[in-house]
Amino acid sequence: MVQLDLKVTTSATKCTVHWGNCGRNKFKNHYVQLYVFSRIVKYSSTVTKALLNERIQFSALEYSWDTDSGSSYVVQLEVKDPNDDRVVAIGKHQLRACFSNADLEKLYKKAVHHCHQSEQNKGDYTRQLKLVGKLYRCKPQQYWQDILDFNDGIMEPCPIKDEIEHAENRINSTLEGLLFSTELNKGSTDFKYHVYPEEILHPYEVNFYFGDFYCTANNPKTHFVTIVVCKKLSPSDIFCTNNLHSLNMGNPFLKIGLTMSWYEMNKHVVTEFFYTEELSLMPNRLKRIKETVPYCDKCTLNNRDFGYYGNVVNDHDDRYKGNPESDDSDLDNPFKEYISNSSEQSNNDQNSDDLPYDDSVGAASEDCDYYDPRDDDPTPYDDDFPYDDNYYDDYR
């Protein structure tokens, strides 16, 4: 029995299986019995459903079929002798209907065009970027509780489970990470956690890749760009190098100061960062959020329909000083016990002679979990930082 080495070509809407290099002369008078099955993972189990059963001449060398975006398929091929229907060769391949290189490049160009077009429409040629001081991860209380109670306070990478991005995105179901955003979102979440950009976006330590550009059906005016962030030479970095569009520091979505002292994001899109490494959870950074801004309807920019996502939340409670109605302190925080314990540990660490602290950046090293001084400031510097166009233009 000959084992065929099948090749496949995938895109968001059509997939093709090739067998042309597998005994072209030997089997030229034979025919191929081709089966296509869909694979659906539901409730931790896989359901296989037969879709196609085709008889094709071997000389056709390939076969294409229309697919559902993001769906997984199994292709099984049998080469049979036309005289007695005896199977003389077999082949099998699993695949997923995801973006082709051309699809991904087209989506990237749409994202760039949207940023520039928004800039032109608003006559905003000099200030298309905004300073960002914090990146947010919003999850239900139970998510954070489980990390603190059962995972030693470590946030581990996990697959993207939201159905808001393109289903055919290459990172869906293949790459694990932690999603952070420049904006808050609520949906079914009620707690926000922040990191500072330099903690996960240090350009000397990570590489950046364009992951997705999408909108939601309920709010077509707000568009999202997903940037995948990988530690250099990590397995995820190698995967992204081969499958995603690499971003350099000249990209329109993210600008970083020469000394990593400031980070700017494009203000015409909501920038999300899919960080593919684990992070230590600092309980004092957990705060309750409040839903304030609902979504609207319909988008034609990228011609995609998505499921319900929730609401973008312009919750900047921690940016106001002296206002009890706007300050986060008026919201109940069930993680106070963890914050107290962490503070006691921090005080003990600060009294030791070998304090793992880097004074040059004002932040704790990875070996220490005590507070960053900025965590005690209710107003992040992305609002209060004195901005000078001429000063920053010199460093862009």
Q: What is the pLDDT of residues 301-360, one digit of tens each?
A: 554 443 333 344 444 444 333 443 444 554 567 777 777 666 555 554 444 344 333 333
Q: Can you give the pLDDT at residue 188?
A: 60
142 and 88 part of one domain? no
Report residue 59 as tokens. 């000389």
What gap in Å lies between CA 219 and CA 304, rounded to an integer?
12
78 and 122 part of one domain? no
Instruction: Decide if 247 contacts 210 (C-beta within 8 A).
Output: yes
Q: Region 349-376: what's the mean pLDDT?
A: 42
Q: Can you give the pLDDT at residue 106?
A: 94
> Is residue 150's pLDDT more than 80?
yes
22 and 133 part of one domain? no
Q: Where is average pLDDT lowest: 50-54, 141-145, 307-311?
A: 307-311
Q: Can you give the pLDDT at residue 212?
A: 93
Share of the chain above pLDDT 70, in %: 68
What gap in Å lies between CA 171 and CA 227, rounded to an integer?
11
What gap in Å lies between CA 76 and CA 175, rounded to an integer?
26
182 and 270 part of one domain? yes
270 and 338 part of one domain? yes
Q: Write out the residue range of the structural domain in which residue 92 sits.
A: 2-96
288 and 253 part of one domain? yes
From 96, 111, 126, the end of a domain falls on 96
From 74, 96, 118, the end of a domain falls on 96
Q: Can you give the pLDDT at residue 53?
A: 94
111 and 227 part of one domain? yes
Report residue 128 as tokens. 């298309």
Pseudo-torsion of CA 200, 279, 157, 171, nearest 10°? 0
Cα–Cα nearest to 62, from 91, 96, 38, 85:
91
Q: What is the pLDDT of residues 202-250, one digit of tens each?
A: 999 999 999 999 988 777 888 999 999 999 999 999 999 999 999 998 8
Helix (H) or strand (E) holding 336: helix 336-350
Task: Count Cα atoms within 13 angstroms, Cβ side, for 314.
Answer: 5
> Is residue 168's pLDDT more than 90?
no
252 and 378 part of one domain? yes
Average pLDDT, the chain: 77
> Is residue 291's pLDDT more than 80?
no
Query: Beta strands of 157-284 (E only): which ranges?
Result: 158-159, 176-181, 184-185, 191-195, 206-216, 219-231, 245-247, 254-256, 263-266, 270-275, 279-280
From 62, 78, 96, the end of a domain falls on 96
> Is residue 62's pLDDT more than 80?
yes
Q: Where is average pLDDT lowest: 87-91, 100-104, 186-190, 388-392?
A: 388-392
For residue 48, what is the domain's CATH number?
2.60.40.10
What gap in Å lies between CA 64 and CA 9, rounded to an integer?
9
Q: How far is CA 23 from the centre of its chain?
A: 42
Q: Can you give the pLDDT at residue 396?
A: 33
Q: Can you give the pLDDT at residue 369?
A: 41
Within-domain flag for 348:
no
Number of residues that this document lists for the chain: 396
Task: Count Cα atoms within 13 angstroms, Cβ side, for 283.
Answer: 21
Instruction: Decide if 318 contacts 380 (C-beta within 8 A).
Output: yes
What gap in Å lies between CA 150 and CA 65, rounded to an integer?
46
Q: What is the pLDDT of residues 76-99, one digit of tens each?
A: 999 999 999 999 999 999 999 999
Angle in degrees, CA 265, 271, 277, rounded to 5: 105
Q: What is the pTM of this model?
A: 0.73
> Is residue 126's pLDDT more than 80?
no
Tell me how many domains the chain contains: 2
